[in-house]
Each structure stands twice: as C-alpha cells, then as structure tokens.
Structure 1
Amino acid sequence: MSSIQLKNIVKKYGDGFPAVNDVSLDIADGEFMILVGPSGCGKSTLLRMVVGLEDITSGDLEINGKRVNDLAPRDRNLAMVFQNYALYPHLTVFENIAFPLRLSKGTHSEDEIQRKVREASKMLELDDHLDRKPGNLSGGQRQRVAMGRAIVREADAFLFDEPLSNLDAKLRGQMRTEIARMQRRLGITTIYVTHDQTEAMTLGDRVAVLKKGVLQQCASPRELYEQPVNLFVAGFIGSPPMNFVPARVEGDQLRLPFVSVPMTPQLAADVKGKDVVIVGIRPEYIKDAEVNPVSGGATFRALVDQTEWLGNEQYAYIPFEQDSSVQGHLDNLEKELDGEGARSQIVVNLDARSQIFEGDEVEFAFDPAHMHVFDPESGHNYTRNEEKAGRIAEASEKQRKAALKRAQERDAKGAISRGNDVA
C-alpha cells in the first residue's frame, strides 16, 4: 500500500493548452479516490500522468514521499485497469492473470504463480473460467480478469480508467459492488476515473470534481452533495440534478418564481448589493404539502406539467419563467455539465403515495434552510456551512478507517481458517 501526493500538477500540450491545471491532491494510504467530471475535464489525463503514460509539464508527483516524475511506468509499481480490458485474446484466463508475474522472469516460481492466480480467481469468482479465452467471456467476466491481473502484481496502488463504461446497467451495478469489496479487502490505495456520478458517489471515500482541468472540490460524497463549494459542483453531483432558479434580492427576502422566502442576517449581508442570485434546491426537499407537510416551511401552488411514477418514487416537473439576467449563466453551466441548455423547470421528488397527475395544480412546500444560494458570476456558494462540512469530513474519514479495519480483520480470520483446514 502507499500514499500518493499530487503537488501543483500541470499538463500542457504543444499548443499551450492546460489539460490539467495546478491540481493538488493528497491521497492517503488505502484510500479510494475518485476523479470525476464532464468529458474533457482532464481526469483521464491526470490518471495517465500518475501511472507514467503522460509526461508532467510541471509540479511534483510523489509515491510514499518519493518523487517519481521521471520514473518509467514499470518502475512505479502501479497496476492499471483499462476501459477496454487490454486482455491477450490468444491466452487463457489463467495466463492473462499470470502474465505480469511471468513477465518478471525468475522472480516467481511456478508454485507461487499458481497460488497467486488461484487466490485472485477465487476472490473474483473466476475458478470455472481459468481455461477459457477472453473472447468466450462476458463483459463482466473480462473485467474481472483485468482486475485479477492487477491483483497478482501486488502493486502499491490500483488505477482504474472508466472500467465499467462498456458494461450494461445491471452489470455495472454488480461490478461496482465487487470493486468496492475487493478494495476494502485488499486495503489498497485506489484512484478511479469515471464520468458516472453514481459510481463516484457509491465507490469513493473522497471524490475530486474537475472542470476544464481545474480541481473544483475534493471531499466525501456526502459533503459534495450537502455542502458543495460552488454552482458547478452542486449541478454536477446529484441525480436528478439540483434545481436552479433565479431569485431577486428584496431587502431580507429572496423572491423566487413561486414564492418569497426570508434570509438569515448573515445571508442578507453576503448578498447585499446583488440584484439577482441563483437558488439551488434538491428535488427531494420539495414536498407535496398534502402528503408531507413541512412545519414552518415555504409553500406555493404550481401547475404540474408532467409526472413520472417509478413505483418507489414519483417525479413531478413544474415549468417556470427564467429570469433573463441569469439565463446566460445557467446556459453556460449546462454546457459545462454536458447538458443541452438551461432547465426552466423544477423537478420534485415526490413520495410514491402522492396522487398527483399531469395538469394538476398542487400545493408544494420546502424548508428554506435546505436552499443553497449562489453568486451568478463566480458560482460561489454563500450558504456553504464550513462547520458542517468539517463534521462530515471527520465522520467520513472515521468510517473509511473502520471499514478498512473490518475488512483486514475478516481477511485475517479467513487466513487462520484456511491454515487450520490445511493442518
């Protein structure tokens, strides 16, 4: 296992464009770090610089405190799992997994190779496929083989480059669980690149959100969701995404398209001098007032344009008229998020019991304490609570260490049990 430090990493190509711009990350020993962001944000380039497949223009990359900028990929002792699996079609599953061991000729005996491969295949449930060729395997099985090849290397860290993007939705869910279980069991430092925020939120101890090569925020999934630092992070994290609506500043009130809400004295002071701000509300915080009344909350009546019932939940879509003064900012945000244009509608995540249909006029309610208020120009989140964010970070790190400890204790018990069986 190892710690990895990225210090002011920059990658510029021949035309001077910074694909990665001044990124600093401190990845702890045994941590699962996710790099996420829209297409072209620099996440894969950053991963390739860590493994040594891309040169670093400036900045320092350290593994266990040792600067490795000039080391060849083979000398960094990192195991990479690629999007296309990179398996050898003419070799069996066993030989694909054993390949890195055979590559270092004379280092491993045949008995050792057999043991390492079979330990990995058992962990990944590949025992029945060791004599098959990759072409006869499913996508999920091929991905397991690629992971097995990384495991037997006993590398200092695993690097994953969008490993599940070629799988269907059901297989992605299964493989997410397997990757998480494997990482906890091995306790190995892992950097994982994805554009899928579901993978980011379910797998990562921490998630680094990138935008145009610049690190926006690095935090636990919960902190990103509840305490985003800016408009971009708030819009990227969450499914359905956060609702953004314009709000006119009128004294100590914010006038939204449907209702006016009071501001705290601190927020009123922060937005003083602003005519318009952008308010963000998560879909689950807006309730059908008849089914889920919100004590002391803001209420409004609105016409429902469309509904979607999914069995365990229901979505309602409420159109509103966009304020021209923030339309451009929201349009730019949507482009940055790989969207097609600003959404002039509110999405409400309703209780499945709500009997709401298209064309109904309904009373909704939400607690203004759950709002986020952003500066339209800079995207700064006025309502981020640093104290709460700190508590979330502390709790997340505690949970990470506890999970690693539990996994190691289970592995130790399993090793004792296997030893007794042999005896």
Structure 2
Amino acid sequence: MASITLNHLVKKYGDGFPAVNDVSIDIADGEFLILVGPSGCGKSTLLRMIVGLEDITSGDLLINGQRVNEKEPRERNLSMVFQNYALYPHLTVYENIAFPLRLSKGKFSDEEIDRKVRAAASTLDLDEHLERKPANLSGGQRQRVAMGRAIVRDADAFLFDEPLSNLDAKLRGQMRTEIAQLQRRMGITSVYVTHDQTEAMTLGDRVAVLKKGILQQIASPRELYEQPANLFVAGFIGSPSMNFLPAHVQGNVFGTPLGDIPVPQHAAGKMPPDGSIVLLGLRPEHFEDAKFVDEAIAARGTTFDARFTHTEWLGNQQYGYIRYQPDEAVQAKLNELAQDLDADEMQPQLVVSLDATSRIRGGTEGRIWVDTRRMHVFNPETGENLTRDAEAGAELTREAAEERQAEIERARQELAAAG
C-alpha cells in the first residue's frame, strides 16, 4: 500500500490551457479518494498524471514520499481499472486475470500465478467463470475481471477511471457496493474518478471536487453536503440539487420572491450591506408541508404560502415544485453556474420535500415550512458560502475518518477469523 502526495500539480497542453491547475492533495495510505466534477474538469487528466500516462507540466508527485514525476507507469506499481475494462476478448477470464503476472517473465511460477488468480477470483465471486470468454459475461462480471487483474499485481494503489459508466443503473448500484466492500477488506489506497455525485457520496472517505482544473473543496461526503465551500460545490453535491433563492438583504430579514424570511442566528453579522443581493441555499429536505410540522419544531424556522406547478409522488416521499420570479442579474449568475454544472440553465424554481401523505398538488396553494437553521447564504458574485462553519465541517470529516478506520479494522478482524 502507499500514500500519494500531489504538490501543486499543473498540466498544460500545447495551447497553454491548464487542464489541471495547481492541485495539492495528500492521499493517506489505505484511503479511498474520489475525484469528482463535470465533464472537462480535469479529473481523468489528474488520474492519468498519477499513473504516469500524462506528463506533469509542473509540481511534484510523490508515492510513499518518493518523487516519481519521471518514472514510467510500470515503475510506479499502480493498477488502473479503465472505463472500457480493457479485457482481451480471445483470452479466458483466468488468462485475463493472469496476464499482468505472465508479463513479468519468470518472476512468478505457474503455481504462484494459479494461487493468485484463484484467490482474486474467489474475492470477486468469479470462481465459476474462469474458463469463460469476456464476450459471454455480463457488464458487471467483466468489470470484476478487470478488477481481478488489478488485484493480482499486488499494486500499491488502485486507480479507477469511471469504471461503472458503461453499466445500467441497477448494476451500477450493485457494483458500487462490491467495490466499496472490496476496498474495505483490502484496505488498499484507491483513487476513483467519476462524474456521478451519487458514486462520490457513497464510496469515498474523502471527495475532491474539481471545476475547470481547480480544486474547489476536498472533504468527507458529509462535510461537502452540509458545509459546502461555495456555490459550485453546493450545486454539484446532492440529488435533487440544492435550491438557490435570490434575496435582498433588508436589515434582519431577507426579501425573497416568496416573501420575507428572517435572517437566522448563524447568519447574523455575516451579511453584506443592506440592499445587497445574496443567494439563499436550501436543500429540498429543509422544507415540509406546514401541516406536518409540530409547534415545537415550527418555531425553529418560518412559513410561507406558495403555489405549486406540480408534485411528484414516489411512494415513500414526495417532491413539490414552486416557480418564482427571478432577479435578472441573479438569474444570469445562476445560468453561469448551470453551465459549470453541465446544464443549459437553472430554472427559477424551488424543489421542496413533502410528506408522502401531503395533499398538496399542482395548481394549488400550500403553506410550506422551511428550517432556516440549515440555510446557507452565498455571495452571487464570488460564489463564497458566507455562512460556512469551517470548524463544524472539519469535525464531520474527522468523525468520518475515525468511523472509516474502525470499519477497516472490523473487516480485517472478520477476514482473519474466517481463516
């Protein structure tokens, strides 16, 4: 296993464009780090720089404290799992997994190769498929074969380049679980690239969010969700996305298209001057049909009346959609953010979570309660989260690291007990 250190890494192409721009990350031994962001943000380029498939323009890459900028990929002892699996169609599953060992030309005996291949196949539940060809396997099985080839190399780290993007939604969920469990059992350093924020939130110990080659924030999934550093991170992490409601600062209230909202205590003293425009960040679950909020909880937020365009009932939950009249200047900023997030435009609407039994429907008006204690306030020009509690966010990441270490220890003990 290995620690990987990225010190001010920069990658510029011939036209001078920085695909990766001054990225610094310390990846701990055994950590599962996710690189996430929209298309073209530099995440795959950064992964290829780590494995040695892309030259480094400037900065230092260290593996276990040793600078490896000029080392060839084969000298870095890293295993890469590609998006397209990169399997040899004419070879059996057994021979595909054994292939990197046979490339070593005499380093491993036939007995050692057989032991390693069968151990990897057992770990990945491929024992019954060793004599089959890739064409006769499902997408999930082919992905496991690609992972088996990485495992047998006894590499210091696994690098995954969008390994699940070719699978259907159900199989992606299954493979996420398998990759997470495998990584926990082996405790091997892993760097995983994805554009899917659900994968990022469910797999990683920490997640590094990239935008146009620049690192926006690196933290545990929970810190990113609850204490985003800026508008981009807040809008990228979470499904449905965070709502951004334009507001005018008016003393101790925010004037919004849906009515006045009192400035919550955690935002007091952090606001720009009266008359300034800010964006209120509210996640769908911060709302509820006021009929389902008891008095004790209601006092922690505020209510407003709104007309719903439509609702979506999903059985165990329900979402309502509220349109509002946007401020033109703010809408331009939101559309700019939408483009950063790979969307055409950002609709001037709120998506609110409702109790599954709520009778609010499209075309009707309802009274909605919002938990203002969990509200974020953003500067629309800089994107800065004015209400971010950095200390509380850091504590969330510390807790996640402790829980993760305990989980790895339990997995190792269970593996040792199983013999």
Tell me the TM-score range normalised by the shorter chain. Answer: over 0.9
Cα deviation for residue 265 of structure 1 reads 6.6
Q: Secondary structure at the match of 2:386?
A: coil
Q: Secondary structure at the match of 2:347?
A: coil
Q: Secondary structure at the match of 1:11?
A: strand
Whether 2:212 is the aligned partner of 1:208: answer: no
Q: Which runs of 5+ in 1 are unaligned?
A: 416-423
In 1, distance between residues paired with 2:373 and 2:124? 46
Q: How does 1:214-233 map to 2 (within 5 A)?
A: 214-233=214-233
* Cα shift readout 1:23-62 (whole Å, capped 9, x = no counterpart): 0000001000000000000000000000000000000000
8 Å contact from structure 1 (residues 234, 242) kept in 2: yes
Corresponding letter in the other structure for 2:97: I
Q: How does 1:10-409 map to 2 (within 5 A)?
A: 10-264=10-264, 267-273=267-273, 275-293=276-294, 294-296=297-299, 297-409=301-413
Cα deviation for residue 268 of structure 1 reads 4.2
In 2, distance between residues paired with 1:349 and 1:263? 22
Q: Which runs of 5+ in 2 are unaligned?
A: none
Cα deviation for residue 271 of structure 1 reads 2.2
8 Å contact from structure 2 (residues 247, 277) kept in 1: yes
Q: Secondary structure at the match of 1:142?
A: helix
Which one is further off, 230-239 or 405-414? Answer: 405-414
8 Å contact from structure 2 (residues 264, 373) kept in 1: no
8 Å contact from structure 1 (residues 232, 333) kept in 2: yes
Q: Secondary structure at the match of 1:355?
A: coil
Corresponding letter in the other structure for 2:338: E
Q: Write out the 4+ residue segments of structure 1 that deviate beyond 4 Å after TM superposition.
A: none
In 2, distance between residues paired with 1:313 and 1:140? 30
In 2, distance between residues paired with 1:171 and 1:290? 39
Corresponding letter in the other structure for 2:239: S
* Cα shift readout 1:104-159 (whole Å, capped 9, x = no counterpart): 01111111111111111111111111001101111111000000000101100000
* Cα shift readout 1:174-207 (whole Å, capped 9, x = no counterpart): 0000000000000000000000001000000000
In 1, distance between residues paired with 2:293 and 2:264? 25
Cα deviation for residue 354 of structure 1 reads 1.3
Q: Secondary structure at the match of 1:14?
A: coil
In 2, distance between residues paired with 1:321 and 1:149? 55
In 1, distance between residues paired with 2:292 and 2:335? 34
Cα deviation for residue 327 of structure 1 reads 1.2
In structure 2, the CA distance between the partners of 1:126 and 1:239, relative to structure 1 (3 Å rule), is same
Corresponding letter in the other structure for 2:385: N
* Cα shift readout 1:215-244 (whole Å, capped 9, x = no counterpart): 000000000000000000000000000000
In 1, distance between residues paired with 2:265 and 2:199? 39
8 Å contact from structure 1 (residues 276, 325) kept in 2: no
Question: Aligned-residue CA RMSD in angstroms?
Answer: 1.1
In 1, distance between residues paired with 2:74 and 2:100? 11
Cα deviation for residue 264 of structure 1 reads 4.9
In 2, distance between residues paired with 1:256 and 1:222? 28
Cα deviation for residue 266 of structure 1 reads 6.8
8 Å contact from structure 1 (residues 251, 268) kept in 2: no
In 2, distance between residues paired with 1:257 and 1:192? 41
Aligned residue pairs total 415
Q: Secondary structure at the match of 2:9?
A: strand
In 1, distance between residues paired with 2:118 and 2:357? 51
TM-score using structure 2 length: 0.97
Corresponding letter in the other structure for 2:176: R
8 Å contact from structure 1 (residues 307, 315) kept in 2: yes
8 Å contact from structure 1 (residues 291, 353) kept in 2: no
In 2, distance between residues paired with 1:172 and 1:105? 36
In 1, distance between residues paired with 2:97 and 2:264? 59
8 Å contact from structure 1 (residues 259, 298) kept in 2: no
In 2, distance between residues paired with 1:318 and 1:412? 55
Corresponding letter in the other structure for 1:360: T
Identity %: 64
Residue 418 of structure 1 corresponds to which residue in structure 2? none
Q: Secondary structure at the match of 1:304?
A: strand
TM-score using structure 1 length: 0.96
Cα deviation for residue 411 of structure 1 reads 1.6
